[in-house]
Amino acid sequence: MDEFDLIRRYFTRATPAAVLGVGDDAALVAPSAGRQLAISADMLLEGRHFFADTDPYALGWKALAVNLSDMAAMGAQPRWFTLCIALPKADPAWLAPFSEGLFALADQYGVALIGGDTTAGPLNIAIQIIGEVEAGLALRRDGAQAGDDIWLSGPTGAAAMAVRHRYGRLQLADADLAYCAARLDRPQPRVTLGRRLLGLASAAIDISDGLVADLAHIARRSGLAATLNLLDLPQPALSDEVLALPDFDVCLLAGGDDYELCFTAAPAQRAAVQALASELKLPLCRVGSMAAGQGVQVLDAVGQPLALAQTGFNHFA
Ligand code: ADP
Ligand code: MG
């Protein structure tokens, strides 16, 4: 199987959403009237973002999921993506499940693979995604206002617990491991929620590096301080023993890879956000508020600020 067979077999699908898809020197797409393009890219490297023995289906899923999550955080409708992939070898036993995982999620969100690049080399997966958002309405990091509530779309921490388990730093029992591994390997990008937050949320970000670190981006870009209440943070469905581990609070506050949305909204929008939670069946949770100042603080059960040893993942820290 050469490079072109490989592209034809595993990465070429009908793309009715594009004017021209895979097979020419460039793809052609027609943006919708009145919308802006939202463009984002995310790279996954073996040994850095995933373990060498990661299930290829999960990898295909996740490579696209992390990009869809960026579209969700902007409130954009994902439309097209490109895939640049370096592969150690052209192995059908790896490529077939990888492309299945990739297209399973692509089909779920109606997003089309329209091109890319394929080379031999150490495993490296880079996806660029293009979405559309109503002009002027994108959910930016700089839109939070003093007095806004801070909301989370779901519990954080479980994905980071799965990473700790895989590194042998802690031992999760089967049921806990199954939950945490699903959060790590098959994140559900909150695309539908992101779309519905247009005109409702004032700012948004997806939690990829850690709750505190990612919320700090909203705080900094909006020129405000963020306060989280530890007791209001939603907890993942894990056993009491796991929730009581000292590592757990670190994962809750600073563990990455959850791909939940963190967003701010005016208190006047509380009822609307709660109605959205029931409609979309998402456990949207109000976890804090924005105020004049800077930085992120987390208040404990008695309202005292926690000393945070770690806020999130940072490649060059
Ligand atoms: P070029 O030589 O013009 O760069 P390539 O031979 O690299 O073109 O690719 C041929 C076609 O296949 C192009 O349309 C390109 O976008 C597409 N393509 C290459 N690799 C991938 C991939 N991994 N997934 C999807 N499309 C791909
Ligand atoms: Mg090329």
The whole-number pLDDT of residue 246 equals: 86
Q: How do 77-87 and 112-120 pair as beta strands?
A: parallel
Ligand 1 centre from 55 Cα, in Å?
A: 25
Any atom of ligand 1 within 6 Å of the Cβ of 85:
yes
- Assign 317 a pLDDT band (cuts: 50, 70, 90): low
Q: Give the DSSP H or E segment for 107.
A: helix 92-109
3-state secondary structure of 64: helix
pLDDT at 174 over 80: yes
Name the one residue in this structure whose structure tokens are 């070429």.
12
Name the one residue in this structure whose structure tokens are 């870009």.
221
Condensed to tens digits (0 to 9), the pLDDT of residues 209-234 reads 999 999 999 999 999 999 999 999 99
Q: How do 285-291 and 225-229 pair as beta strands?
A: antiparallel
Condensed to tens digits (0 to 9), the pLDDT of residues 22-78 reads 999 999 999 999 999 999 999 999 888 888 888 999 999 999 999 999 999 999 999
Ligand 2 centre from 114 Cα, in Å?
A: 13
Condensed to tens digits (0 to 9), the pLDDT of residues 63-78 reads 999 999 999 999 999 9
pLDDT at 316 over 90: no
Ligand 1 centre from 133 Cα, in Å?
A: 27
Look up the pTM and report it: 0.95
How many whole angstroms separate alpha carbon 273 and alpha carbon 284? 8
Residue 232 · residue 308 · CB < 8 Å:
no
The whole-number pLDDT of residue 307 equals: 87
Which contacts of 25-31 are long-range, i.e. CB under 8 A and separated by 24 or more positions?
Answer: 26/115, 27/80, 27/82, 27/114, 27/115, 29/79, 29/80, 29/114, 29/130, 31/132
The whole-number pLDDT of residue 308 equals: 83
Any atom of ligand 1 within 6 Å of the Cβ of 117:
yes
What percent of the chain clears pLDDT 90, i.e. is strictly above it? 91
Choice from 7, 59, 85, 113 to test ligand 1 binding pocket (greatest atom count within 8 A of CB): 7
Q: Whose CA is nearest to atom 9 of ligand 1?
A: 117
The whole-number pLDDT of residue 1 equals: 84
Ligand 2 centre from 308 Cα, in Å?
A: 45
Residue 80 · residue 114 · CB < 8 Å:
yes
pLDDT at 128 over 70: yes
How many whole angstroms separate alpha carbon 109 and alpha carbon 27? 20
Q: Whose CA is nearest to atom 2 of ligand 1?
A: 25
Span 120-128, mean pLDDT? 96
pLDDT at 312 over 80: no
The whole-number pLDDT of residue 86 equals: 96
Any atom of ligand 1 within 6 Å of the Cβ of 113:
yes
